Amino acid sequence: MNAPPTGKNFGRPVRRLEDGRFIQGKGRFVDDVILPRQTYAAFVRSPYAHARITELDAAPALEMPGVLRVMTAADLAGVANLPCGWMIHSRDGSEMKVGARPILASQIVRYVGEPIAVVVAETRDQARDAAEAVMVGYDELPVVVDCADAMGPDAPQLHDAIPHNLAYDWGLGDEAAVDAALAGAAHKVELTLRNNRLIPNAMEPRACNADWDAYAEKLTVWMTHQNPYGMRAMYSGVYGLAAEHSLRIVSPDVGGGFGAKAPNYPEEVAVAFAAKLVCRPVKWTADRTEAFLTDAHGRDHLTTATLGLDAEGRFLGLKVDTIANMGGYLSTSGSLIPTYMYATMLSGQYVIPAIHCRTRAVYTNTCPVDAYRGAGRPEAAYVVERIVNVAARALGLDQAEIRRRNFIREFPYQTPVVFEYDSGAYEASLDQALALADYNGFAARKAEAAARGKLRGIGVAAYVEACGIGPSALLAKLGAGAGMWDSSEVRVNPVGTIEVLSGAHSHGQGHATTIAQLVADRFGVPIESIRIVQGDTDRAPAGTGTYGSRASVGMSATLLACDKIIAKGKRICAHLMDVTEDSIRFEDGVYASAATNRTVPFGEMAAAAHAANAFPTREIEPGLVESSFFDPPNFTFPSGVYVVEVEIDPRTGVTQIVDFSAADDFGNVANPMIVEGQIHGGLTQGIGQALWEEARYDPETAQLITASYLDYGMPRADGLPEFRLSFGCTPSPSNPLGMKGCGEAGAIGSPPAVINAICDALDIEHTDMPARPERVWKLCQQKGAR
């Protein structure tokens, strides 16, 4: 199934076709869309993290200039709450407990920034002025921020009928087998760690512009989103905003998402309802503060893990106990991330005969948590790759060697936690990364750094992840509320241009280029003749969104649609060339047959398909449009090994990453330049998590205290090394392109690699992220005191 595509585009560093418009400021983002009779929305949001609403009076706002309407929960009577899209069952078989999340709160607010009312006015400033005039009375309630505290006996309970704030207590794997393995293990190591809460920070904030056409009874919502079709299904099926055929979601250029533009949020739904109420288009663009407060956050786990090893350092069993902070409500995929996106990856790249994971998901007075670059997989890699180093340290084994002793070497490999890994070459990646990093020369570099007063450390981390989500049947078994396939329609126009309608949606990944590369090579036509259409449910065919590096799914659908075109072309050419269909080959854009000298280039066949006069139209339909839906047989499993070197200044605790070597295996790659960009970005976000980024709430008030760039430490170019990248290639057998996906990889493998390097430099077992200078300085002080 995995013949690598050949040609002059696919697999080459073709420059991104969309960059011209981005670089010249000609991109079209939702906020650029201004409709006739445009109005603007502003939200009234809770300033408290937990409070009972005692009073809600919109009258003063209604008297303000330009105000058209103030919408509150009262206007949404009978409308469904926000659903969580993934059913998780607790270990006792009970369904997860979902705290009701209304579109607009009217009784209790559960995190700072939760929307209570939406004001619609002629201008944005008028809407904001009036939003401040809406009178809301609150009785403050006690708050809880920390996920472990949330289960405590004294913790305030966020939702009625959800004691201890426990949404579910879930398990995966054979606990008895793990206990037995640990009991018989020669060595056991235990580690407790936190995975710090992150804020996604897409460059473009969330935005929507909803337009109700009362004549056609049609609702159009421009929305910056990763999954326009998913939103259409929800807006129609869950909220009844309009019938599905009369609901158009348009996601134009999307300025980054990182997962945070995949959920179904209350604000966009509220704006859509408001547009119907005022019968004019209503636009809302989040400001940066709203983005910090309300874009779904990522991570936030507290985990204890135990690894058992035999005398030679081979892994026998891994037991993991995680508390995952869900925030005030279960976001769309909130329940999924710390379960099937997480525990299923706990085997890492290793043979671990027994694995068990218990995950307790708890509500706290914080912003809901959902997918963020990697979504569960970075949390898993962090647990595995940290405890492996703790074990290496305990056993006196080299960190590369302990991995080597435990690698999976034969594929397919069935892990004890659901997944069957389809392919990989883990040791090859390790060797490649070690060579790039000059691992053997490290001791000399460490000594040289010590002479300069610096503590130098080296960290190795190996990750594997699951991408290209489907297959739908497996997902349904795991609790999915929707299938995850993708589709594509290929239209070959009479004069030779080609439109590829794709159900995926690029939010920075470069689909306009990579899909065109594929099609250009498949048809043997110039890349310029191809245009990719995405993100408009009135134009593009159905899709299930772009996240989890699932372009391999959408691109496979495109490939299959192309092949249907080629096959139809053969039938047409059989008439043009007067030979039998099965004697025809299609190569380099030309139909040829051993039975004749006559050849037909692709364009001539396309023209003939539309002219429809050279073949019997009762046998072959005119036109040249084909579509395909692709549901993958399995996930794909990208993997890699990262080696990081850091230098720590013990006087200030500043950690400098001085070297970063990466060896990734993404199978076949559509465009290595784009892949490198994805890796640079992913590594940067992972390094950001390891060194600087952390969403922090005040434990007394649950106010977000890192709600701006003054206080939230984003990674910057000057804190990053030159990345040394290299690529292996074991093609995935799970899609016809042999692709695996690369979007999350960097953010998954780099946090443990960096922390492993820091622990090595300081000769300590563990430190939590982010390894801010003060934290590291204190560790240096302790070390000095020892």
> Applying CB under 8 A, which residues contact another protein?
125, 128-129, 132, 287, 289, 651-653, 691-692, 696, 705-706, 709-714, 719, 772-774, 777-778
Q: What is the DSSP string of 713-776?
A: ----GGG---EEEEEE----TTSTT-B---TTHHHHHHHHHHHHHHHHHHT-S--PSS--HHHH
Q: Cα(330)–Cα(341) distance, rounded to whole angstroms?
A: 15
Nearer to another protein, 223 or 690 (CB): 690
User: At 190, which helix (H) or strand (E)?
Assistant: strand 187-195
Q: Cα(385)–Cα(195) distance, rounded to whole angstroms?
A: 13
Match 């179904």 to its residue by tokens: 264
Nearer to another protein, 666 or 692 (CB): 692
- What are phi and psi for residue 126, nearest 5 degrees? -60, -40
**Contact at 8 Å (CB) between 58 and 72?**
yes
CB of 285 to another protein, least distance (A): 13
Nearer to another protein, 210 or 771 (CB): 771
Nearest to 347 by CA among 90, 173, 192: 173
Nearest to 530 by CA among 588, 569, 491, 566: 491
Nearer to another protein, 408 or 691 (CB): 691
CB of 239 to another protein, least distance (A): 31
Nearer to another protein, 89 or 128 (CB): 128
CB of 366 to another protein, least distance (A): 16
Q: Cα(477)–Cα(480) distance, rounded to whole angstroms?
A: 7
Match 């998954």 to its residue by tokens: 748
User: At 288, which helix (H) or strand (E)?
Assistant: helix 288-294
CB of 779 to another protein, least distance (A): 12
CB of 710 to another protein, least distance (A): 4
Q: What phi-psi label fits residue 163: left (phi over 0), alpha (psi between -120 and 50 degrees) or beta?
A: beta
Nearer to another protein, 335 or 655 (CB): 655
DSSP conformational letter for 89: B
CB of 46 to another protein, least distance (A): 17
CB of 753 to another protein, least distance (A): 20
Cα 205 to its chain centre, rounded Å, is 16
CB of 651 to another protein, least distance (A): 5
DSSP conformational letter for 44: E
Nearer to another protein, 368 or 653 (CB): 653
CB of 132 to another protein, least distance (A): 8
CB of 636 to another protein, least distance (A): 36
Find the distance separating the first CA and the last CA of the chain, reported in whole Å: 59
Nearer to another protein, 116 or 742 (CB): 116
Nearer to another protein, 66 or 589 (CB): 66
349 three-state secondary structure: coil
Nearer to another protein, 335 or 703 (CB): 703
Nearer to another protein, 139 or 711 (CB): 711
489 three-state secondary structure: strand
Nearest to 393 by CA among 193, 657, 190: 190
CB of 741 to another protein, least distance (A): 31
187, β-bridge pairs:
309
CB of 454 to another protein, least distance (A): 14
Q: And the tokens for 722?
A: 């030159």
**Contact at 8 Å (CB) between 469 and 645?**
no
Distances (CA, A) of 124 to 43, 100, 129, 478: 11, 30, 9, 44
**Contact at 8 Å (CB) between 399 and 459?**
yes
Q: What is the DSSP string of 199-268?
A: ----SSPPEEEEEEETTTTEEEEEE--S-HHHHHHHHHHTT-SS-GGGEEEE--S----TTTTSS--HHH
Nearer to another protein, 617 or 652 (CB): 652
Nearer to another protein, 630 or 697 (CB): 697
Nearer to another protein, 132 or 763 (CB): 132
Q: Cα(113)–Cα(293) distance, rounded to whole angstroms?
A: 6
Nearer to another protein, 91 or 128 (CB): 128
CB of 212 to another protein, least distance (A): 30
Q: Cα(165)–Cα(326) distance, rounded to whole angstroms?
A: 10
283, β-bridge pairs:
40, 209
Q: What phi-psi label fits residue 279: left (phi over 0), alpha (psi between -120 and 50 degrees) or beta?
A: left
The amino acid that residue 642 corresponds to is Y
Nearer to another protein, 135 or 714 (CB): 714
Q: And the tokens for 658?
A: 């001085």
**Contact at 8 Å (CB) between 694 and 770?**
yes
Q: Cα(594)–Cα(265) distance, rounded to whole angstroms?
A: 59
CB of 711 to another protein, least distance (A): 5
CB of 469 to another protein, least distance (A): 34
CB of 784 to another protein, least distance (A): 12
